[in-house]
Structure 1
């Protein structure tokens, strides 16, 4: 007997609100500790945030050699897509270029506020 796959698995999209960021780009005072860390050493903060997001730890280091921040912009876009946040590539580019540390703080706050509890499935031993 052979089985036929009728549908392919789809990527999970988690959306909570009406597609908006839970905090603004300049709402750094919502988490002063993260804000201070990002202001003192933005590359370190960006690397830590990227690792928590599940991407390569060194990805933000690509931004050091450029006034345009491709890694910051791509992680911001990925966060928007993961959480179903409306926006545009143009807005991501402008935000990432104008104030990268504020963008990293916003990304970190968003991940922290939208953190889902871990649910472990039943493990059946055979």
Structure 2
């Protein structure tokens, strides 16, 4: 049995042309979400990652390092999937110094776009 990926996830907007639906410091727009991200960031990050279609426990690996590579990877993936402007340097800085704000921004992005999770189609041969 061999698994092959027939299609890759595609950006759902113009490649690199849109801005985030909310700014990195706009987490106060949704106070409930903001409080959850601030007081229990690991739980909030896990829930957001699952809603994005990734492994629920993936953000817990960030606890092993001060650079938060998983948060940065999810942010980069979200930018590419939704066609949001940005660069790796900005993603790294935000993920390192504004962790709860980054998770709020990503959760808000998914809510505002109300787009379904896109998973790769798998073909069994």
Q: TM > 0.5 between the two?
A: yes
Tell me the TM-score normalized by structure 2: 0.82
**Contact 2:37-2:103 within 8 A present in 1 as well:** yes
Greater relative CO (CA pairs within 8 A, separation 6+): 2
Distance in 2 of aligned mates of 1:55 and 1:104: 14
Tell me the TM-score normalized by structure 1: 0.81
Gaps (5+ residues) in structure 1? 1-7, 119-126
Could you tell me which residue of structure 2 aligns to residue 71 of structure 1? 70
**Comparing both structures, which one devotes a greater share of its residues to strand?**
2
Deviation at 1:18, TM superposition (A): 4.2
Aligned residues: 111
Q: CA RMSD in A?
A: 2.0
Q: Equivalent residues in 2 for 1:40-119 (5 A)?
A: 40-116=39-115
Question: Helix, strand or coil: the match of 1:25?
Answer: coil
Gaps (5+ residues) in structure 2? 1-5, 118-125
